[in-house]
Amino acid sequence: MSIEKQFTDHMKKLKAYNEATSLLYWDLRTGAPKKGVDLRSETIGTISSDIFIMSTSDEFGSLLSALEEKKAELDPVMLRSVEEARKQYDLSKKIPPEEYKEFVILQSKAESVWETAKDTSDFSLFEPYLEKMVATTKKMIGYWGEKNGSAYNTLLDQYEPGMTTEILDEVFGQLRNRIIPLVQKINASTSKPDTDFLYKPFPKEAQREFSNKILEQLGYDFEAGRLDETVHPFMIGINRQDVRITTKYDEKDFRTAVFGTIHECGHALYEQNIGEDLSGTFVEGGASMGIHESQSLFLENFVGRSEKFWENNYELLKSYSPEQFGSVPQQDFIRAINESQPSLIRIEADELTYALHIMIRYELEKGLFNGAFEVKDLPQLWNDKYEEYLGIRPSNDAEGVLQDVHWAGASFGYFPSYALGYMYAAQFKNAMLKDLPNYDELLAEGNVAPIREWMTDKVHRHGSMKKPLEILEDATGEGLNADHLAKYLEEKYSKVYQLV
């Protein structure tokens, strides 16, 4: 059997195993009976561990080396698949197996300790674990070798290939300098939107029906996916023709389901529209966390929270909850769903202040890994930064440094992707306007297809054939530029808060 065929078979086999684990996970979250959960978790563990073994076997390593020796003969998809496989292979394989296993155990302990620490708002419980995780991650960076000149850049590259602190410092700095004054102006504004009606009862079944209508309108393919209910919403690709999303219904705040569904729909449109030529390969997924997030945020904010979108959909929404919205003019509705208010919890933050939450985490991670400070300094630094950027100070660590699960899972370097997603989205929108000058009219007519097709052409179909910054440049004609997001936010919030 040719080595190409062996490699293709290996990819197909991994796809099958990943389909199984994805479905086992999806089912666990959506409807698996309670008593079966423990055995289910063991099953997921067993199959995941076999996937790991298959992906890191010496045989597979030799296969990769053999393919790398004949790079010139490989077609582009095969070439990029080999590159991706090599990256993942080295990440796992360069760590001595015993240390890797210990790290997995440490992570699992750390997560459970973090839960207790958060519940009791006691950072000192979590501190020794976080210290160990940072130390072990630094050791692993030693095994991997530094990428792009610093320890933290090595981590960034794992989530956002090619991203560095040099780029982030610049764009985050620019963005912060535009967002903070805007937040201050909003605080000072006397024209605040009335938001009481947002919290009026909206029955779950009606929310579900409305969400389904919106998904159809946005082009989500229900023949290649389905919508279910979970505590924490997510999108999951079971296979390339089976891309599922979940949502959560809050009868006292319809925004959870409606904007949550639109957000996950953005992720799903990406996965549903990856090129068929990439089918069954290692480049069939999204290009990066940041590019994925750009798709969900674009749809949620640039489409879902826009005035034009609701020109076409407000009457429909009203029909599902007439008492709630009957006496609310469309203009007031738009202002209300775009309310901005500094807050302490990242996942509850609004579109404007969200990036500030991310910058704080980024600066702390960077400092931790590049040696500027230590784990024990985190709570104080965290609180100081919140005061500096958002003008509010956490009163305890549960609403401060302990709020996110990421560090407990050793996902250092992940946070910046969220803010990058915002910036990418704004930049895509800006470029799209050149090709679709009638963007506003399209939205107002409910004709989203040309917008989605633009994204498919520029982003979706390429899967991870291109690096994130390549996608950005090819689509927009420029490198990462914070100005687009800043401008968008300034225009939007000036209108919502009638700033002068």
Of the candidate spans 16-24, 160-168, 298-306, 465-473, the one that interacts with a second copy by CB under 8 A turns out to be 16-24
Which among 175-183, 221-229, 381-389, 475-483 is the span making contact with a second copy, rule CB under 8 A?
Answer: 221-229
Spatial distance between the Cα atoms of 424 and 426, rounded to a whole number of angstroms = 6
> Per rule CB under 8 A, is residue 118 in the interface with a second copy?
no
List 84, 160, 264, 284, catalytic entry: 264
Query: Of 47 and 444, which has the nearer Cβ to a second copy?
Result: 47
Binding test (CB under 8 A) with a second copy, winner from 10, 80, 240, 335: 240
**Distance of closest approach, residue 244 Cβ to a second copy, in angstroms:** 8
Q: Which of residues 458-487 bind a second copy (CB under 8 A)?
A: none
As measured in angstroms, the least distance from the Cβ of 27 to a second copy is: 6
Under rule CB under 8 A, which residues in 19-48 are in contact with a second copy?
19-21, 23-24, 27, 31-36, 38-40, 42-43, 46-47
- Exposure string over 359-387, b if 16+ CB within 10 A, otherwise e: bbbbbbbbbbbeeeeebeebbebbbebbe
Residue closer to a second copy by CB (options 43, 330) is 43
**Among 78, 163, 238, 432, interactor with a second copy by CB under 8 A:** 238
* Residue of the chain from 239, 256, 341, 430 that contacts a second copy (CB under 8 A): 239
Nearer residue to a second copy within complex by CB, 84 or 284: 284
Q: Is 437 in the site for a second copy (CB under 8 A)?
A: no
- Secondary structure (H, E, C), the chain: CCHHHHHHHHHHHHHHHHHHHHHHHHHHHHCCCHHHHHHHHHHHHHHHHHHHHHHCCHHHHHHHHHHHHCHHHCCHHHHHHHHHHHHHHHHHHCCCHHHHHHHHHHHHHHHHHHHHHHHHCCHHHHHHHHHHHHHHHHHHHHHHCCECCEHHHHHHHHHCCCCCHHHHHHHHHHHHHHHHHHHHHHHHCCCCCCCHHHHCCCCHHHHHHHHHHHHHHHCCCHHHCCEEECCCCCEEEEECCEEEEEECCCCCCCHHHHHHHHHHHHHHHHHHCCCHHHCCCCCCCCCCHHHHHHHHHHHHHHHCCCHHHHHHHHHHHHHHCHHHHCCCCHHHHHHHHCCCCCCCCHHHCCCCCHHHHHHHHHHHHHHHHCCCCCHHHHHHHHHHHHHHHHCCCCCCCCCCCCCCCHHHHCCCCCCHHHHHHHHHHHHHHHHHHHHCCCHHHHHHHCCCHHHHHHHHHHCHHHCCCCCHHHHHHHHHCCCCCCHHHHHHHHHHHHHHCCCC
* Chain length of the chain: 500
The pattern of x and - marking residues 43 through 82 that bind a second copy according to CB under 8 A reads: x--xx-----------------------------------
Contact range with a second copy by CB under 8 A, out of 100-108, 175-183, 238-246, 382-390: 238-246
Nearest residue to 440 via CA among 331, 303, 315, 337:
303
Sign of torsion over alpha carbons 443, 447, 448, 451 = negative
Residue closer to a second copy, measured from CB, 40 or 132 = 40
Cβ-based nearer residue to a second copy, 271 or 293: 271
Closest distance to a second copy from the beta carbon of 264 (Å) = 15
Closer CB to a second copy, residue 268 or residue 291? 268
**Which residue number, 174 or 230, has a Cβ lying nearer to a second copy?**
230
Smallest separation (angstroms) from a second copy to the CB of 241: 4
Question: At closest approach, how far in Å is the CB of 240 from a second copy?
Answer: 7
Work out which of 113, 180, 224, 444 binds a second copy, going by CB under 8 A.
224
Distance CA 191, CA 335 (A): 10
List the one residue from 62, 195, 241, 331 that touches a second copy (CB under 8 A): 241
CB of 461 to a second copy, least distance (A): 17
The minimum distance between CB 226 and a second copy, in angstroms, equals: 6
Q: Residue 154 Cβ, how far from a second copy at the closest point, in Å?
A: 34
Convert residues 169-208 into a mask of x (bound to a second copy by CB under 8 A) and - (unbound): ----------------------------------------
Residue nearer to a second copy on the CB measure, 196 or 223: 223
339 belongs to the catalytic site: no
Q: Give the footprint of a second copy on this chain (CB under 8 A).
A: 12-13, 15-17, 19-21, 23-24, 27, 31-36, 38-40, 42-43, 46-47, 221-226, 238-242
Q: Active-site positions?
A: 264
